[in-house]
């Protein structure tokens, strides 16, 4: 009898678990200092706020998708955000259909039984892509950075230790809260509770009831963490005895190289230029949008 050899997949992308999801085991972005990565996130995340032109925000999203691929992030994981994109579109455009908000000069459009106006609809379109450029920048950041990278970056920016520590504990408690919630739900299912068969009213009641065990566990955990902090000699100021400066060991493992300086300065300058061009010259205003001109000509023809 012959045994067929097991076929091994040729390329399995290894991933590391984080509290909020997964990041690739290896990524080109890990060559950058965590502080540089945070700067890229801040710029790519906040720049769309100053940009009205949907063309640029769509281009930012496409660029981020390319970076996802370059960074070794599994693009198929983005599918989970699809319902959010659809829901946001329904809400943002639905509001313009239900509450058209007419002002003089608006161009009316008849869509079935609804009379809507071109300008508010196009503004919804602008806002939609602006929000999603921002959301994609966040997804990109958290898909290529662990929580600890954020903390290292904040410590590199000389953020007070107590503040970064509070943030770490908050992130940790969020993960544990979700885990406790999942355990409580599994325990209920194990005892025969079928939440799918419950009415909306009963579901609301059920979710309200979850708060009791969840808060009890949270209080218990807070006591345990506080005891662990005491045992490790932590003081609220984070300062060691004798008013010495705290040695942040983890920062010594990451050096800020010339590439970091280059990338950081480039992104900071890019941000300054975008803000300057928009606030002083209005470069990214809606009236400069080719897409706007195209649709405007289409509806006014």
Nearer CB in complex with another protein: 28/228: 228
> Contact, 259 vs 32, CB < 8 A?
yes
| Cα dihedral: 262, 133, 50, 270 (round 10) | 10
Is the Cβ of residue 248 or residue 286 nearer to another protein in the bound state?
Answer: 248
Closest approach, Cβ 137 to another protein, in A, equals 22
Q: Which is nearer to another protein, 5 or 233 (CB)?
A: 233
Which is nearer to another protein, 87 or 216 (by Cβ)?
Answer: 216
Angle at 253 between CA 174 and CA 160, to 5 degrees: 50
Nearer Cβ to another protein (169/198): 169
- Residue 250 Cβ vs another protein, minimum distance, rounded to whole Å: 6
Given a contact cutoff of 8 angstroms between Cβ atoms, the answer to whether 120 and 100 are in contact is yes
Give the binding site for another protein (CB under 8 A).
Answer: 16-19, 146-148, 151, 165, 168-169, 171-172, 175-176, 221, 224-235, 238, 240-242, 244, 246-250, 252
Q: Are 32 and 265 in contact (CB under 8 A)?
A: no
Least Å distance, CB 163 to another protein, is: 15
* Residues facing residue 108 across a β-bridge: 117
The least CB distance from residue 31 to another protein, in Å, is 16
Q: Taking the complex as a whole, how short is the minimal distance between the CB of residue 261 and another protein, in angstroms?
A: 23
- The CB-of-143 to another protein minimum distance in angstroms stands at 16
Helices first, then strands: H and E counts in the chain? 9, 4
Cα–Cα nearest to 214, from 174, 261, 267:
174
- Reduced 3-state DSSP string for 132-159: HHHHHHHHHHHHHCCHHHHHHHHHHCCC
Q: How far is residue 253's CA from residue 160's CA, in Å, rounded to a whole number?
A: 19
Cβ closer to another protein: 183 or 273?
A: 183
């Amino acid at each position: 009898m012959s045994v067929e050899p097991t076929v091994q997949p040729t390329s399995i992308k290894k991933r590391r678990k984080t509290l909020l999801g997964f990041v690739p085991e290896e990524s080109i972005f890990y060559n950058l200092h965590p502080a540089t990565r945070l700067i890229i996130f801040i710029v790519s995340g906040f720049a769309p706020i100053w940009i009205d032109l949907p063309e640029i925000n769509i281009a930012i999203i496409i660029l981020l998708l390319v970076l996802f691929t370059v960074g070794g992030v599994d693009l198929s994981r983005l599918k989970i955000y699809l319902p959010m994109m659809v829901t946001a579109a329904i809400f943002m455009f639905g509001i313009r259909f239900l509450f058209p908000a007419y002002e003089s000069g608006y161009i009316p459009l008849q869509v079935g039984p609804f009379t809507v106006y071109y300008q508010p609809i196009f503004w919804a379109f602008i806002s939609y892509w602006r929000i999603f450029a921002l959301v994609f920048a966040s997804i990109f950041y958290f898909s290529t950075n662990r929580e600890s990278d954020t903390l290292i970056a904040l410590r590199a920016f000389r953020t007070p230790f107590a503040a970064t520590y509070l943030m770490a504990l908050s992130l940790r408690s969020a993960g544990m809260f979700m885990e406790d919630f999942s355990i409580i739900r599994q325990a209920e299912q194990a005892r025969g509770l079928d939440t799918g068969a419950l009415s909306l009213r009963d579901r609301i009641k059920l979710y309200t009831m979850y708060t009791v065990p969840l808060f009890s566990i949270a209080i218990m955990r807070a006591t345990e963490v506080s005891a662990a902090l005491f045992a490790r000699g932590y003081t609220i100021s984070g300062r060691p005895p004798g008013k010495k400066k705290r040695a942040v060991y983890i920062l010594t493992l990451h050096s800020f190289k010339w590439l970091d300086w280059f990338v950081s300065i480039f992104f900071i300058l890019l941000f300054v230029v975008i803000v300057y061009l928009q606030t002083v010259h209005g470069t990214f205003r809606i009236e400069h949008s080719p897409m706007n001109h195209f649709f405007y000509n289409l509806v006014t023809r």
